[in-house]
Structure 1
Amino acid sequence: MFTVPIIDMTPYVDPQSTPEQRAQVARALDEAAATVGFMQIVGHGVPTSAVDKLTDAVDEFFALPLDVKKRYISSRGENRGYSPPKSESLSMSLGVANANQMNDYFEAFTVGAGRSSYPAHPELPASSYPENFWPDDAAPAFQAGVQEWFCHARGVSRNLLRGFTDALQLAPGYFDNMVDYSIDIMNLNNYALPEGEVILTGELTGMGAHTDFGILTVLWADQVPGLQILDPDGMWQDVQPADGALIVNLGDAMARWTNDRWLSTIHRVDPPIADGRIIRRRSAAFFFDGNYDAVIETLPGCARTDRPGYHPITVADNINAKLAGLKAGIAPTAAAREALRLTSAKSAT
């Protein structure tokens, strides 16, 4: 029976934990990463008050009229600000088009770590580290709630990386110089069909099938249907967060680093329907991507004679190729392994 394991991260949060306790968690992380590519984590240390502030912020912004939200579309095409419904196609980040390409109906607001987040590195390229702009005039409480959650999600991701380092039997701090000015990005997502509308046009999708681009993703989501992941047999499986849990999945950078010992699992969001009705779904996906110039190449202990390693690529080049598919419908040239998994998937029955 397919399950997404629930893992208690307390030993990586509590400074009084023992090496044996952390080793037990590391083994569970390794098992989940190698077999599912997804996990649910509890004991992550994020207070419920931060969730409340996040949801208040999300509700405040997405309740605005569409013409007001569109004022916050990036004028320079940067991966920041508002994205209206049907302006992206996640499946094209793998080079697999929908029948109607830009047909993902979610709307989003994107924030991230800009150059000002890393004052010790003034040379960072603005293309990878654009500054945020905030809808303070239209949604005055939005920035504070989002920034607080962003900081918590960043802390969770770094604790997870410590656990991953142990799970891969690498030296403590192995990844430190690859993430000290990480491209950290967060998408706030709202599934925007009016509640109760069930007429779906063509190949309309909530969020198209895709893999994430970076090291790992920390996801908060409503406990409603929608998220599905592709299991090893090519079947779509429903996943909902457990009480108090955050959903974590690995991205392409970690799959490449481990030469697919660990999985960057394809996932999607189907239109969330319960009892024949569209219901609202909200999520906040924090993408821990690594330094723009970090090179993704096979880690020690992950080389295999029967599976050639991926061609080395920088974090920024990997992200930019996927974003070109997502935003502009330009298929990446180095996503063949991921695309094959998607195109061979069976329909859920």
Structure 2
Amino acid sequence: MPPFAVPLIDISAWVGDGSDDARAAVVAAMDHAARTVGFMQVVGHGIPDSVVSGLTGALDEFFALPLDAKKAYVRPAAENRGYSPPKSESLSYSLGVDPVTRMNDFFEAFNVGASWRDYPGTSTTVEDYAENTWPDAVPSFHGAVETYFDEARRVAHTLTRILAAALRVREDFFDTLTDHSIDVLRMNNYALPPGSIELGAELTGMGEHTDFGLVTVLWADQVAGLQVLGQDGSWNDVSPADGALLVNLGDVAARLTNDKWMSTLHRVKPPVIDGTIERRRSAAFFHDGNADAVIAPLPHFVTREAPALYEPVTVREHIAAKLAGSRAGRKNVTAVREAARVAASRG
């Protein structure tokens, strides 16, 4: 088996007016990455540096607030909006896997997403597409985050066009699954004040998990911590190249392709430098699909030799089960295949 590597893919041919050959090369590279790694680094995405700087400045200002001030923006777990304090979640429970210590993921996060008001004339409801909370304690936050959200969504739509070409389905195939997609931007901060952690303990920045939806577009610091599970059961460190976004496929993509494309397990293990945890930031844009979309393996991925691995399920049902695990501490008993991969991993 070749050594683990996350391929670097330039998608500029699909962002602009690329030639047919250039576009075909991107499709082939993405299909290969989807089948072998489930992760890729994407450049040529077209997000201006100024937009990324605006995002990071806004999240720095928010996460620098006192904890009590940030807790004013906590929302009910089921709404998946607002602030999540440190140690309030355990992502491994989304797979039905026990963490080392219950609720020990020490990242803090702030979530915004698509509201039901963004999709007039559709079947969206406030239960699936909650209104956002914008922290008035940081006046620049709303504008900077919303600008980045729109750019990340544009990249996600470009990626689904490439994925449709790789699947050899019509170019607008994903439109029917994502025209009122549950899109969420989760901004993460991996840092705790000195004395709030036991450095000799088994530390988990974010427990092992797969992403819930179709595709994730991740901006991240070039700081160690993100680890991706290889096919040989090893955990491998991953850090983005200069200017690259990390892109990975989620459970919806795996279910559509009957696991031909990989919803790869990943986690964050915090680096400890000179006795303190080095700060790490990330912003994950989750393009999950329509809440009422029914997801099942596509017919051309199901044969007598490769029977369907998944029963049909709506995106709403799938995400609800995984959120109940990570947020409420109730094991998700439906993630049998993913939990088995965690159990088989090494290190």
The TM-score with structure 2 as length reference comes to: 0.96
Q: Mind listing any 5+ residue stretches in structure 2 that lack a counterpart?
A: none
Structure 1 residues 340 and 167, CA gap change in structure 2 (3 angstroms): same
Say which is worse superposed, 75-84 or 90-99, in terms of deviation.
75-84
Cα distance in 2, alignment partners of residues 333 and 307 from structure 1: 23
* TM-superposed deviation, 1:171: 1.3
* TM-superposed deviation, 1:48: 0.3
Q: Which amino acid aligns with 1:182?
A: S
Paired position in structure 2 for 1:293: 292
Paired position in structure 1 for 2:18: 17
Contact preservation (8 Å) 1:196, 1:278: no
Structure 1 residues 202 and 308, CA gap change in structure 2 (3 angstroms): farther
Q: Are 1:46 and 2:12 an aligned pair?
A: no
* Aligned pairs (5 A) from 1:307-346: 307-309=306-308, 310-346=310-346
Say which is worse superposed, 178-187 or 305-314, in terms of deviation.
305-314
Contact preservation (8 Å) 2:293, 2:314: yes
Cα distance in 2, alignment partners of residues 167 and 72 from structure 1: 41
Contact preservation (8 Å) 1:41, 1:247: yes
Paired position in structure 1 for 2:267: 268
Paired position in structure 2 for 1:177: 176
Cα distance in 2, alignment partners of residues 152 and 336 from structure 1: 35
Paired position in structure 1 for 2:9: 7
Structure 1 residues 103 and 4, CA gap change in structure 2 (3 angstroms): same
Cα distance in 2, alignment partners of residues 151 and 270 from structure 1: 30
What root-mean-square deviation, in Å, do the aligned CA atoms of Structure 1 and Structure 2 show?
1.5
Paired position in structure 1 for 2:230: 231
The TM-score with structure 1 as length reference comes to: 0.95
Paired position in structure 1 for 2:128: 128
* TM-superposed deviation, 1:276: 5.3
* TM-superposed deviation, 1:192: 2.0
Look up the SS of the partner of 2:104 in the other structure: coil
Q: Which amino acid aligns with 2:10?
A: D
Look up the SS of the partner of 2:222 in the other structure: coil
* Aligned pairs (5 A) from 1:109-128: 109-121=110-122, 123-128=123-128
Tell me the alpha carbon deviations over residues 115-161 of structure 1, each in whole angstroms, 9 at most, x when there is no partner.
0111232x41212100101112x111111111011000000001000
Contact preservation (8 Å) 1:195, 1:279: no
Structure 1 residues 195 and 150, CA gap change in structure 2 (3 angstroms): farther
Cα distance in 2, alignment partners of residues 18 and 200 from structure 1: 53
Say which is worse superposed, 33-42 or 95-104, in terms of deviation.
95-104
Paired position in structure 2 for 1:144: 143
* Aligned pairs (5 A) from 1:91-106: 91-106=92-107
Cα distance in 2, alignment partners of residues 249 and 160 from structure 1: 11
Cα distance in 1, alignment partners of residues 7 and 194 from structure 2: 31
Structure 1 residues 49 and 33, CA gap change in structure 2 (3 angstroms): same
Cα distance in 1, alignment partners of residues 40 and 19 from structure 2: 23
Contact preservation (8 Å) 1:272, 1:281: no
Paired position in structure 1 for 2:71: 70
Cα distance in 2, alignment partners of residues 325 and 91 from structure 1: 8
Paired position in structure 1 for 2:29: 28
Cα distance in 2, alignment partners of residues 77 and 291 from structure 1: 17
Say which is worse superposed, 185-194 or 195-204, in terms of deviation.
195-204
Contact preservation (8 Å) 2:128, 2:316: yes
- How many residues in Structure 1 have an aligned counterpart in Structure 2? 344
Cα distance in 2, alignment partners of residues 202 and 98 from structure 1: 13
Look up the SS of the partner of 1:301 in the other structure: helix
Contact preservation (8 Å) 2:216, 2:287: yes
Contact preservation (8 Å) 2:191, 2:277: no
Cα distance in 2, alignment partners of residues 204 and 184 from structure 1: 29
